[in-house]
Amino acid sequence: MRMWSRKNSLSGVKIRSDMDAREATVLRSLVESVVGLLRDREADTPTDELAAMTGLRTGHSSPPEDAALARLLPDFHRPDSNSDTANLNGALRGLHEPEIIDDKLAASRVILDTIPTNGGKVVLTPAQADSWLMGLNDVRLALGTTLGIDADTPEVLDEGDPRAPHLDVYHWLTWMQDSLVQVLIP
């Protein structure tokens, strides 16, 4: 993939890059994996009689058990010795999780709709680029959590480490996201 570039045109600002077929396939697969996690969480939402009567959408009151999904849908407040924090997190999660999932799925849809199937040019509006940033961040969070990447993870892993090839993909996603941020900053 080439670095993102910003071009002014008669139809407005366009954010551009090129992606080869292999990169497009990898990115599409990663985004679809995140979409699958989010859709499973959405489908597993418990029924709430009050929500059904009022028409309000509610989400789970407990955090996801899957580590990658928990990273995508973290608690609103850090746990402390006060037991009310768990209740507060549950209430906020129940109220806001459906919209958060909707936003993440919408960002993923933009990426999936704008990735060239067989590689090629990617041309985005600034709004689509914002969606790409959100979606790339979600993919990085999920992949990083799955691989156990943290601040102590070296830039290069030993060849025998099964995470080594996936860490390269993680670094590629990081580079792609950083390059996109740099172009969006005026």
Domain contains 78: no
* Domain count along the chain: 1
Sequence-ordered list of residues with C-beta below 8 angstroms from that of 159, at least 6 positions apart, any chain: none
Along the chain (186 residues), what's the average pLDDT of each consecutive run of 10 residues?
Answer: 91 95 97 97 82 78 93 84 70 89 98 95 97 98 92 80 86 96 90
> In the prediction, which pLDDT does 149 show?
86
Domain contains 23: yes
Residue 167's Cβ-side half-sphere holds a number of Cα atoms within 13 Å equal to 15
pLDDT (tens digit per residue) in 137-162: 999 999 999 998 888 877 887 888 88
* 140/136 Cα distance (integer angstroms): 6
157 φ, ψ (degrees, to nearest 5) = -95, 160
Domain contains 70: no
* 72/59 Cα distance (integer angstroms): 14
> In the prediction, which pLDDT does 81 show?
58
Domain contains 123: yes
pTM, entire model: 0.89
Residue 138's domain comprises 5-49+100-184
> In the prediction, which pLDDT does 157 show?
78
Domain contains 85: no
